[in-house]
Structure 1
Amino acid sequence: MSKVSQLQFSEVVHVDEDELTYLYIKMDYRQAERLIVDAINALARGLAEAEAAYAEDNDKALLAACRKITKSAQRVGLGKLAVVARDVRVAVHQHNRHAAHATLARLMRLGEPSLRELWQIKAIGT
């Protein structure tokens, strides 16, 4: 009798709260709030665009979506998310479809909890 194992992946989300604090110090409170909300929206769109681009085998759109994710993630202290989005781009540039798929899957696993965590932090600040 064979036993089938099912892997359960989970990603630990880390928001650099020092980066967020710096935003609030550097700019007006409302500007910082707007930047965070804009980043949340851009990240959500970028993740959806990346997934769709991969499904359509559209490397150009996938690269653009991952650049958007990297930029938005860096602005609000989601360094790990930014690095994984960059790793997807590297895999695409290397024409390594398997690595791109695996890394994109990791980006999706990390993306949604990152958005929830960022939204939670933003809600605490209001």
Structure 2
Amino acid sequence: MDQVLVLRQDEPVRMDPDRLQALYEQLGDSGAEDVVCRAMEELALRLSLAERLYREGQGAEMRRAVRSLTGIADQIGMYGLCRVAGHVTACIDTGDEIALAATLSRLLRIGERSLTEIWDLQGMQV
């Protein structure tokens, strides 16, 4: 067994463009852009915070950061990110450190890709 297999971790981002469209219809272009931009900033901050708290071993604080991330992601239609954040929370709750490490890595990957996707979708609205 001298061979190492590298797994490519590539899964589609789960977004609801209808949620974003509804924001634009409800708030108008300027209002929706403001909400989406603030949400994106908050998501990026919370993803970074969750990673830092994980490295520092602060599970309870990390759980709060991930739970708040879920509410923000839901607001702008990032359902895949919400689902993975729920998995991270479940790993924290069960104390499964190995699953937590893997699931947090997945959350960070999905989070980065979701932010890129929402940026692209938002650009199409303007």
TM-score (norm 1): 0.93
One-letter amino acid of the structure 2 residue matched with residue 56 of structure 1 = E
Contact 1:42 1:68 in 2 (8 A): no
- Structure 1 distance, partners of 2:18, 2:2, is 49
Specify the alignment match of 2:73 in structure 1: 73
Question: How many residue pairs were aligned?
Answer: 126
- Structure 1 distance, partners of 2:68, 2:111, is 13
Q: Deviating runs (4+, > 3 A) in structure 1?
A: none
Contact 1:88 1:103 in 2 (8 A): yes
Instruction: Name structure 1 gaps, 5 residues minimum.
Output: none
Specify the alignment match of 2:46 in structure 1: 46
- Structure 2 distance, partners of 1:64, 1:28, is 31
One-letter amino acid of the structure 2 residue matched with residue 10 of structure 1 = D
RMSD value over aligned CA atoms? Answer: 1.3
Give secondary structure in 2 for the equivalent of 1:6. Answer: coil
Specify the alignment match of 2:32 in structure 1: 32
Deviation at 1:14, TM superposition (A): 2.4
Specify the alignment match of 1:5 in structure 2: 5
One-letter amino acid of the structure 2 residue matched with residue 19 of structure 1 = R
Give secondary structure in 2 for the equivalent of 1:113. Answer: helix
One-letter amino acid of the structure 2 residue matched with residue 13 of structure 1 = V
Specify the alignment match of 1:61 in structure 2: 61
Sequence identity of aligned pairs in percent?
Answer: 33
One-letter amino acid of the structure 1 residue matched with residue 53 of structure 2 = A
Give secondary structure in 2 for the equivalent of 1:28. Answer: helix
One-letter amino acid of the structure 1 residue matched with residue 34 of structure 2 = R
- Structure 2 distance, partners of 1:68, 1:52, is 16
Contact 1:49 1:61 in 2 (8 A): no
- Structure 1 distance, partners of 2:89, 2:50, is 11
